[in-house]
Amino acid sequence: MVSDRSLEVLRVIVQDYVASREPVGSKTIAERHPFGVSAATIRNDMAALEEEELIAAPHTSSGRVPTDKGYRLFVDRLADVKPLSSVQKQAIEAFLGESVDVDDVLARTVRLLSQLTHQVALVQYPSVSRSRVRHIEFVTLAPRRLLSVLIAETGAVEQRVIETPVDVDDALLARLRASFNSLTVGLPLADAAAALHEVHTDFAPGHREAVAVIVETLVDQIEANRQEKLLMAGAANLVRTEHDFTGSIFPVLEAIEEQVILLRLFGEMAADQHGVSVSIGRENAPFGLAETSVLTSGYSSSSGIVARLGVLGPLRMDYSNNMAAVRAVARYLSRLFGEN
């Protein structure tokens, strides 16, 4: 069990090491921070921290650096996450407020978050496992060519061009539109595809072949929207911090390209008292990310569906600032989706 002062020493070691990337020694702590005790006393506190495996000596350095266990204790004991400045908040609103659709707002989100944190930014599309069909529309492009438009409650829009074996007139198109919407609107995407499979049997024999082609395309659209997706930006930030990793950075780069792995990690992270989930070091080992920290927060769409966004980077990161940025962007994204 370490004392309160030892925990405060841990805090300044984390902050100084994050700022300088230089191992932190007792003399430096005594000179820079108002502990009111000697460097020898600070060394005793550091010895207690080292015994608890909260700090460690890199190579033969006289200074100490935090371990992933030390970072975890530091994050758990953060009394407060400082809010972003008004200028930063205005920049978020201005940049995301110019978005034209769901794809654009999420693409802007990862770019903005990577710039605010200097880490790899990740954003999950609104969870489609519970998403429902809002509307299906068909637009005539030519007598045997249609544009099929699927709109989900999340605001996601999927469009496909369909080539039909026979002409589709306005009357048939109107009937298709009414039939498909009556069968699927309000249904979860998982159920909407099944509801369409036999719909072609309700049409006259001369139309069934064309209807079957349209149904097949629409089912493909629905299935495409059921896939969980992540957007990523800022991989160059990870490369710039390559010296923070003990080995090659390539396994980390390979791991973050596997969306299934990251989505599983997102799903297992629970939010703390700040509304942010933080997974550090060895906690990420099952995902091939043992030398990284991952910070995420949830956001809601207009239908209440929750997805996650966050950042990934080395253990040596500015946790307080990054947690504030992740939380602020998630909250703004929720407001933006809630207005649509």
pLDDT of 124 above 60:
yes
- Read off the pLDDT of residues 307-325 as tens digits, 9 standing for 90 and up: 899 999 999 999 999 999 9
Q: What is the pLDDT of residue 129?
A: 57
pLDDT of 37 above 80:
yes
| pLDDT confidence tier of residue 117, bands split at 50, 70 and 90 | very high
Give the CATH number of domain 4-67. 1.10.10.10
CA angle at residue 96 from 94 to 101, to 5 degrees? 135
Q: Pick from 111, 53, 125, 84: which is nearest to 299 by CA?
A: 125
**Best CATH choice for the domain 133-226 from the list 3.40.50.2300, 3.30.390.60, 3.30.390.10, 3.40.50.12780:** 3.30.390.60
Structural fold of domain 86-127+228-338: Beta-Lactamase (3.30.450)
Q: What is the residue extent of each domain of the chain?
A: 4-67, 86-127+228-338, 133-226
Q: What is the pLDDT of residue 340?
A: 54
- Read off the pLDDT of residues 148-188 as tens digits, 9 standing for 90 and up: 999 887 777 888 999 999 998 999 889 989 999 999 998 88
- Fold equal for 4-67 and 86-127+228-338: no
Rounded Cα–Cα distance for residues 185 and 163 (Å): 24
Rounded Cα–Cα distance for residues 301 and 337 (Å): 5
- Read off the pLDDT of residues 54-102 as tens digits, 9 standing for 90 and up: 999 987 667 999 999 999 999 988 766 777 888 888 888 888 888 878 8
Is the separation of the CB atoms in 249 and 239 below 8 Å? yes
Lookup: tokens for 292: 């990284």
Lookup: tokens for 216: 């097949």
- Across the beta sheet with 133-142, what order do the strands follow? 133-142, 145-152, 157-163
Q: Pick from 105, 176, 101: which is nearest to 138 by CA?
A: 176
